[in-house]
Amino acid sequence: MAEKVGIVGAGTMGHGIAELCAISGYDVVLADVGHEILEKAMEKIRWSIGKLESSRALVENPGIILSRIRTTTELRELAGSKYIIEAVKEKIEVKRQVLRKLDSLMGPECIFFSNTSTIPITELASMTGREEIFAGLHFSNPPVKNPLVEVIRGKKTSARTVGEARSFAISLGKEVIVVDKDLPGFLVNRLNDRLFTEALLMLGEGVTFREIDALLRFRMNFSMGVFELMDFVGIDTVLNAKTEMIGHGFNTSPSEKLSGLVEKGMLGMKTGKGFYKYQKPSVYSRPLIQPSGRMFRVNPVRLFATVINETAWMIRNKAASPDDIEKAMLLAMNWPEGPLSIADRLGIDNIVGELNSLHSSTGESRYIPDSLLLEKQRHGDNGLLSGKGFREWPFASEDIGPVKFQRIDSFALITLNRPEKLNSLSEELWSGIRIALEKALQDPDIRSAIITGAGRAFSAGDDIQMMRSWKGSADAKRWLDKYASPLIDLLASFPKPLISAVNGVAFGGGAEINLLFDVVVAADSAVFSFSESLIGAMPPIASSFGIAVTGRRLLPYLLTGDWMAPEKAKELGLVDVVTDDEMTLMVAMEYANRLSRAAPLSIQSIKSVANLHRTGVQPEARFSQNELIILSSSEDFAEGQEAFLSKRKPVWAGR
């Protein structure tokens, strides 16, 4: 004989849990205060089971499953249940009345579970005489499809009851996490509130909700934006959860924005309007969220700092294990990565810095960095860029002369490391970049390479001292044949994606090599200049590859050596993304992360075709290099180098 489960509350969660239990073979009694409520619940259950049958997700006949569900308005008909699941409104007085009545009707062995999303289990259990056999069993919406269940231990919940809750949830086909501290919001809703709260506060900092959602969707690979999610859940539901959590001591911020929307009846998808507008109330549709350049102005560190701080607090206080926290947000909220992985990607040092800044400006105690974060920062365990944070990452580092080569996760980070010379391209630097790229090419686990500069420059161009030392065209040809051409040829034919993070000046050759990269991310402080004509030389890459890419629009800059702001470089097609200085490398790493999710063979094919266009201008490239060789023996070339080093205006002879 099937075991009996009593469920009180036939709303969205209650009828979903009832359907799930019946599908899993339990006899279900679903109770609520009115027959009309129960009939609507059964209509939704029948509709859902029909959808599951049409998608061949059921192993039994729908009629058999539906026969296991009985409805009632009398709580006494739940007598004999092995488990009671309370799923009534998130109102403490309603729950108190229901739980006290149930406690008087059920046998002493009946285990009580509450599906509350915010109210502490200890408080609910104290309303009954069975605190040891009372636990939280929080299903995520929709219960039939969402794979996660949180089991929450109250202060007096026995280990046996926690085990029963786990076993029951597993019998329903669910993944289970255990929250060992009875906290307002438990795990998922607690972290959700941190994300919701900071997103709402950012609206007052000059950021729009569309920009924040675009950041999440298109930069961080989230399936839904945070404002899109609040509309989907119901803005009144989000506000009620926040209010309950604040009432039970959770240190979060009230939201006038949410209160204002609720007062106007703008509750999200169910009313046809919330943050976004929808075609019809209560009909599921996705709002139009489009990527834009503005999304690269939104700092994810600002958005996630308190989420990660809360996560650290929960780990340190043994509220939940690191693995369970990761699993909870992956499964319940469909995040692309858990909060600990996000912390490591953003950088724990960056998180601590942001929290300190927010605490300094607001005085709010929730921004005080947790001691676990401070400890990791103190030990240099800052995440991805150090190889270790909350988890260990694939990491290796070596110096190749003035080039630092790091293998980080799925990408190589190649740093031009002559900051005292503004990373000017010496022979050793040309050679070091080539060797580093060859190492990246030989490593099958490296999917892409990022190139950036140390200090306040990407690269100020070719080393003038080196060029001044040339005695004539033979020296220039030797430099091209031994150092420059091998790197240019490798960049033009490189089979893996190349990303540059341009910080500060990119002059001469430092600007030119960006024309051979696949993705160029530039900081606001970046300045581009093809300045060779100002020192008696010429830009061999820009005059061949560059003209092929941009057409004559680049020519005025090659002829004059004029400076180019990053937005202008983007307009001309030299730059793909312009962002704040502190986010330049972060955005480049986001590209590397997204590239790692793409099919390797597809990337290889795309690169093969793209490289045909680059190698197709090799005759022009060779011609332009020969022009540089010819110029190197001219008086004007020598004058240009000497004038630059002497910091004076050159006097051209025209020969």
Q: Please identify every residue annotated as catalytic.
A: 117, 138, 150, 189
Sign of CA dihedral 528, 533, 538, 544: positive
Token couple for 573: 């097609």
Number of residues that make up the chain? 655
Q: Which of 171, 167, 173 is nearest to 52 (CA)?
A: 173
Q: Which of 342, 441, 332, 348 is nearest to 386 (CA)?
A: 348
Which residue is associated with the tokens 């986010």? Answer: 583
| DSSP β-ladder status, 134-139 and 148-152 | antiparallel
**How far is residue 528's CA from residue 502's CA, in Å, rounded to a whole number?**
9
For residue 100, the SS3 value is helix
Q: Which of 385, 405, 407, 388 is nearest to 396 (CA)?
A: 407
**How far is residue 639's CA from residue 650's CA, in Å, rounded to a whole number?**
6
**How far is residue 285's CA from residue 47's CA, in Å, rounded to a whole number?**
19
Which residue is associated with the tokens 């990373």? Answer: 423
For residue 490, the SS3 value is helix
CB 397 within 8 A of CB 436: no
Amino acid at 191: L
For residue 268, the SS3 value is strand
| DSSP β-ladder status, 519-523 and 498-502 | parallel
CB 227 within 8 A of CB 209: yes
Instruction: Show Cβ contacts of residue 35 under 8 Å, excluding neighbours closer than 6 positions.
Output: 71, 73
